[in-house]
C-alpha cells in the first residue's frame, strides 16, 4: 500500500519543471491604470530595477491611443530610454496595425495581442464578436512576423467574466484555436478577474496544450480570491513553466469591480524558491537601484525591487495600489476602433 502511495506521489510531481520563465508585466499591465501620470524616468527606472534583479522577460509598455490610455502615451520614449541588456526580452502590447507600426521603430523583441474567451465581455467592451476581434489581429501577426518578431497572444477572461460569470473550457479552446489560425507563436491563458481555481485552470490549460506546445503556453493570474499561487502550482503540475507576474502585485482589471492586481512577482519567486525551481531572479539582490525605493504617484508609495524575499510586503503594497481604484465596468473606448487598446489581461 505504501509503495502504491509513493508511486502515485511520484507521478503527481513528475511534471514539475526544474526552471520557470517569468514575464514581469508591471511596467505595462501594472501601471496602465494608475490615475496620476507616472514620469517616463520612473517607468524606465522600474524596468532597470527588474532586469538588475534578474528578470529576463519584461512587458514594457503598450502602443495604444493616448486618448484611451494616457498613461502609455510615452511608450516610444520609454523604449528609447531603456538601457537594454542582450539577454533580456522586451515586449510591448500592440492592439492594432497602427500600434504595431508605431512600435516597430522602437525595436521590441516581442509583441502581445489579446482576445477574450467571453463573448459577453467582447461584445460589452469592444462591440464585436470574439471571432471579429481576433481576426483584427491577423494583419498585426503577419506584419510582426515579417519583421522577425515573436507574437504572444493572451486569452483574457479565460476563467471568469464580470458579465457572464464562469467561462467554460470549450469557450477557452474556441479562442485558442482562433489565435492558432492567425499564426500567433505563444498562447497565454489569463484569469483576468481572479476567479479561477486550480481544477478549472488545469481544464483550461489542457485545451491550450491541444493546440500549442508546452513551451508556448503560459499562465497569467490575478489574485482577487487569493488563488493565484495555487493556480500557478496547478500549472506546474502539468509541466507549464512560463508565467506573467507583476512586481508588488501592480495592476488590476478596471472593468471588474473588486478585482485586484496581478500575482506579485515576489510571491511567485518566493514559492518557486521553496520548491527548488530556478528562476534566475534574486529576491535579495543588492542592486544599485533597490535601496532607495521608487517613488510613484497615486496609490503606489514605494516599490523596492526586491524586498528581501518577504512576500507579505508585496501584499501590503498591492493593497495601497488597489485601494480606491475605480471599478468601471465598461471600457471608455467601447465600440471604437481603438477600444481593444485598453483591454487588460
> Which of 80, 123, 41 minimizes the C-alpha distance to 343?
123
Cis, bond preceding 306 (omega within 30 deg of 0): yes
Q: By C-alpha distance, which of 217, 181, 177 is closest to 201?
A: 217
Question: Which residue among the candidates 157, 161, 235, 253 is catalytic per the annotation?
Answer: 253
- State the cell numbers at 319: 493593497
Q: Check if the beta carbon of residue 32 is closer than 8 Å to that of residue 69.
A: yes
DSSP string, 298-323: TT--EE-S--TT-HHHHHHHHHHHHT
Kindly tell me the sign of the dihedral angle through the C-alpha atoms of 21, 209, 340, 262. Answer: negative
Q: Collapsing DSSP states into helix, strand and coil, what is residue 186?
A: strand
Distance CA 153, CA 212 (A): 11
* CB contact burial 24-57 (16+ within 10 A = b; e otherwise): bbbbbbbbbbbeeebebebbbbbbbbbbbbbbbb
* Exposure string for 254-283, b = 16+ CB within 10 A, e = fewer: bbbeebbbbbbbbbbbbbbeeeebebebeb
Q: Which residue has the cell 467592451?
A: 125
Q: Could you tell me which residues are beta bridge partners of residue 294?
A: 303
Determine whether 253 is an active site residue: yes
Catalytic residue list: 253
Amino acid at each position: 500500500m505504501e509503495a502504491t502511495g509513493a508511486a502515485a506521489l511520484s507521478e503527481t510531481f513528475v511534471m514539475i519543471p526544474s526552471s520557470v520563465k517569468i514575464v514581469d508585466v508591471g511596467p505595462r499591465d501594472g501601471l496602465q491604470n494608475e490615475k496620476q501620470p507616472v514620469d517616463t524616468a520612473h517607468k524606465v527606472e522600474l524596468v532597470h530595477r527588474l532586469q538588475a534583479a534578474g528578470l529576463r522577460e519584461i512587458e514594457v509598455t503598450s502602443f495604444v491611443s493616448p486618448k484611451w490610455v494616457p498613461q502609455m502615451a510615452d511608450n516610444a520614449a520609454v523604449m528609447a530610454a531603456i538601457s537594454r541588456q542582450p539577454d533580456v526580452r522586451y515586449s510591448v502590447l500592440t492592439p492594432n496595425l497602427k500600434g504595431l507600426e508605431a512600435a516597430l521603430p522602437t525595436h521590441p523583441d516581442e509583441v502581445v495581442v489579446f482576445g477574450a474567451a467571453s463573448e459577453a465581455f467582447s461584445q460589452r467592451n469592444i462591440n464585436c464578436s470574439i471571432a471579429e476581434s481576433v481576426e483584427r489581429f491577423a494583419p498585426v501577426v503577419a506584419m510582426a512576423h515579417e519583421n522577425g518578431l515573436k507574437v504572444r497572444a493572451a486569452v483574457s477572461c479565460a476563467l471568469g467574466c464580470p458579465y457572464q460569470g464562469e467561462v467554460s473550457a470549450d469557450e477557452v479552446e474556441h479562442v485558442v484555436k482562433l489565435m492558432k489560425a492567425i499564426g500567433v507563436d505563444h498562447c497565454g491563458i489569463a484569469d483576468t478577474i481572479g476567479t479561477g481555481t486550480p481544477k478549472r485552470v488545469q481544464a483550461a490549460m489542457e485545451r491550450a496544450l491541444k493546440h500549442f506546445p508546452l513551451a508556448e503556453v503560459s499562465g497569467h493570474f490575478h489574485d482577487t480570491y487569493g488563488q493565484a499561487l495555487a493556480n500557478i502550482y496547478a500549472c506546474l503540475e502539468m509541466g507549464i513553466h512560463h508565467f506573467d507576474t507583476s512586481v508588488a502585485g501592480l495592476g488590476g482589471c478596471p472593468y471588474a469591480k473588486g478585482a485586484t492586481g496581478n500575482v506579485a512577482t515576489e510571491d511567485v519567486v518566493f514559492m518557486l524558491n521553496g520548491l527548488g525551481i530556478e528562476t534566475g531572479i534574486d529576491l535579495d539582490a543588492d542592486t544599485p537601484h533597490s535601496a532607495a525605493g521608487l517613488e510613484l504617484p497615486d496609490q503606489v508609495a514605494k516599490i523596492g525591487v526586491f524586498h528581501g524575499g518577504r512576500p507579505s510586503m508585496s501584499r501590503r503594497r498591492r493593497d495601497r495600489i488597489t485601494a480606491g481604484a475605480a471599478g468601471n465596468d465598461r471600457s471608455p473606448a467601447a465600440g471604437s476602433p481603438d477600444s481593444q487598446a485598453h483591454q487588460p489581461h
